[in-house]
Chain A
Amino acid sequence: MKHTISVLVENKFGVLARVAGLFSARGYNIASLAVSETMDPEISYMTIVVDAKDEKILEQIQKQLNKLIDVITVTDFTKKEHVERELVLVKVGCSLKDKARLKKVIEKYVGKIIQCKNDTAIIEAVGEQAQIKQLLAELEKFTVKELIRTGKIAIAQ
């Protein structure tokens, strides 16, 4: 089962390696990871998405995360009310005649075409991962040249 875990950490070098090490040492792949400063520049916020093959192992990882000296709090959003978003940037092949069609697709989402030149459009879109997935499926009608996702971020309600 996929878990979204947020970790509040001291904003210091080496902290990300400590956090990541607890997953990698158990053969766990991090599906996505978003890290940035909080309002307090001494604290960083990490949102980690991980697919847990074994819930017991994940529970152990969370306890181990809490043990790290530089970790302030650990929250598993899986069983908690929360809002989550992801941002994608997509580069799509787009001739002039495609543009209207592309616009129509984008309109259904929180997104827009931010640039369009030389037969290439760059699209940004924000949403829950299910919406992003749907959008990407629709974009398959066009030629997707490049795709970049921020990974999920989440905040408690």
Chain B
Amino acid sequence: MNGAQILIESLKREGVEVMFGYPGGQVLQIFDKLYDSSIKFILVRHEQAAAHAADGYSRATGKVGVCLATSGPGATNLTTGIATAYMDSIPMVAITGQVKSFLIGNDAFQEADVTGITRPITKHNFLVKDAKDLARIVREAFYIASTGRPGPVLIDIPSDVQTQETDFIWPETVQIRSYKPTLFGHPGQIKKAIKLIAKSKKPIIYAGGGVIISNASAELRQFSAAIKAPVTMTLMGLGSFPSNDPLCLGMLGMHGTAYANHAIMSADLIIAVGARFDDRVTGKLAAFAPNAQVIHIDIDPSSISKNVKVDIPIVGDVKNVLGQLLEEVKKAGDTSEWLKTIESLKKKHPLKYEGKEKISPQYVIESICEITDSQAILTTEVGQNQMWAAQWYNHIHPRSFITSGGLGTMGFGFPAAMGVKVAFPEKTVFDIAGDGSIQMNIQELATCVCNKINVKVAILNNGYLGMVRQWQELFYKKRYSFTTLYNPDFVKVVEAYGGVGIRVTKKEEVRPAIEKAIATDNVVFLDFHVEPEENVFPMVPAGEAIDKMIGGLA
């Protein structure tokens, strides 16, 4: 076999069913072998979209997403998508072509030092110098990407390695002596945690993306019930604990619910589960949860005590550790007073918005939620659209709210939605977008139309880069510096590509339009002309304590 055949065979052995990518000069061999292969290939219109689609596919399924691009510009176009996956710990394998191995370093046509460029944004990367190593490298790449704290792994393959003939030898096992993630919590730490939990009168569980990654939603729910503690989630954790559970506090942090923020600030014990105390969550660190002791469960030791001092660190896979804790919990502390306080906080500070003359963006999200019975898979872009989607949709299931949390990548949602829809063709998939974000990967309309990927895009069109405008309004004296957008006619754009566009300008048209979009067997842009200067509230100003929310409605 030659290197390209070895690659395809190895991908098949890893169970790869679908890949997203774009051809080019240094991957011709791979594409030639792909032509005859059973792996489904989705041709995107920009490599960035291939990375986001592989990422979305991975977030929705839990499998490793795979994308493929050529050397140089193909590879550099992947990097935003790789960095996005890295920040959110998404298992992904990115394959790039490279110039012939003897030309590397000679400034050859379409050459870039791709392993160099991607070193800080991948969990690991490989430059393949001999086809003999390729099967082993693919095996290791999938293993590294999907175990421990997952992340993207890049394999850079020079075109002469793709044509090099050698025997195919599939390694049955992976042996990496220096890579052994800790999977179970230390029993001593578990005992200490149990003691602390038993003493606590005001515990709160703070759940992050790690719960979703380790498929631990069921354990989280049992744990919360066992210790009678409310659960608040990070943006990445939404869906890990159902929002219709009475113990659910929704999202915390900068745009979290006021009751979640007040609750964590007055807690005496924070049990952080697969979360990393990001600055958007803690606000002013010195003022964060001053009376709370902290138990931190995370598979990555470098996440522990990075921002917040931790009393009991437990390194291990969240699912296993929650299982260990559940086994040991005999008697929970008396939290009845605390749960009453939580109830009154919820009553006192509900999420709300003021209806105005034009369509409220929050109403659009609520309507999508009702019409889909909270069963759609949502992706988002970044900015106000993302925060409203987080706040106003009922997140019931894990792997159903797919958003770029860490890197905050505009242009993520639409291609990510394609990846989700390819994985689950029978599900309704909505990308909640803004008029700014959607234009960052709008070319993917062609991919959707050609491959019948019928995602629905709800554009909350306010004619602004809304979140930046909101900051300018609140902190820069309404000086709207370069945040006013002149937009194309989105309906015409989508129609030009062969999809369907629906413009919605009146409140009463919102629900019928959503229903029509869902019933349409095509990619649909819903162009909602919403209240232009609507703000996301509650809001914690940057650098403030998280119970110092502004917005009047908090």
Name A's B-contacting residues (CB within 8 A): 9-10, 13-14, 17-18, 21, 25, 59-60, 63-64, 66-67, 69-72
Contacts and interface: CB of A to CB of B under 8 A. Distances in A.
A66 B127 CA distance: 21
A69 B179 contact: yes
B306 interface: yes
Contact of A69 (B116, B127, B144, B301): B144
A14 B302 contact: no
A21 B300 CA distance: 19
B119 interface: yes
A67 B115 contact: no
A69 B115 contact: no
A14 B117 CA distance: 12
B178 A18 contact: no
Interface in B299-331: 300-302, 305-306
B286 interface: no
Contacts of A63: 301-302
Task: Name, among A63, A64, A66, A70, the residue most crowded by chain B CB atoms within 10 Å (CB to CB).
Answer: A63
Task: Name, among B115, B123, B178, the residue most crowded by chain A CB atoms within 10 Å (CB to CB).
Answer: B178
A67 B302 contact: yes
Nearest to B124: A69
In which size bucket is the chain B interface?
Answer: 10 to 19
A60 B302 CA distance: 6
Contacts, number: 32
Contacts of A18: 119
Q: Shortest 4 CB-CB distances between A and B: which pairs?
A: A63-B302, A72-B178, A69-B124, A69-B179
13 contacts: A9-B178, A21-B119, A21-B120, A59-B305, A60-B302, A63-B302, A64-B302, A67-B300, A69-B123, A69-B176, A69-B178, A70-B178, A72-B177
B178 A14 contact: no
Nearest to A63: B302
B116 A17 contact: yes
A10 B178 contact: yes
Interface in B112-133: 115-116, 119-120, 123-124, 127
Contacts of B127: 13-14
A67 B178 CA distance: 9
Interface in B139-190: 144, 176-179
Contacts of B176: 69
Contacts of B302: 60, 63-64, 66-67
Contact of A71 (B115, B123, B178, B301): B178
A139 B177 CA distance: 47
Contacts of A25: 120
Contacts of A66: 301-302
Task: Name, among A9, A59, A69, the residue most crowded by chain B CB atoms within 10 Å (CB to CB).
Answer: A69
B121 to A, nearest CB: 11
A51 to B, nearest CB: 21
A25 B119 CA distance: 11
Contacts of B123: 69
B300 to A, nearest CB: 7
B296 to A, nearest CB: 13
Contacts of B306: 60
Task: Name, among B144, B302, B305, the residue most crowded by chain A CB atoms within 10 Å (CB to CB).
Answer: B302
B301 A14 contact: no
Contacts of B305: 59
A39 to B, nearest CB: 16
Nearest to B126: A14
Contacts of A60: 302, 306
Contacts of B120: 21, 25
Contacts of B124: 69
A13 B130 CA distance: 14
Contacts of B177: 72
B468 to A, nearest CB: 27
A64 B151 CA distance: 14
A47 to B, nearest CB: 18
Given A10-B178, A17-B116, A71-B178, 14 more contacts: A9-B178, A13-B127, A14-B115, A18-B119, A21-B119, A21-B120, A25-B120, A60-B302, A60-B306, A63-B302, A67-B300, A69-B123, A69-B178, A70-B178
A18 to B, nearest CB: 6
B145 to A, nearest CB: 11
B84 to A, nearest CB: 18
A66 B179 CA distance: 9
Contacts of A69: 123-124, 144, 176, 178-179
Contacts of B144: 69
A5 to B, nearest CB: 15
Contacts of A64: 302
A10 B178 CA distance: 8
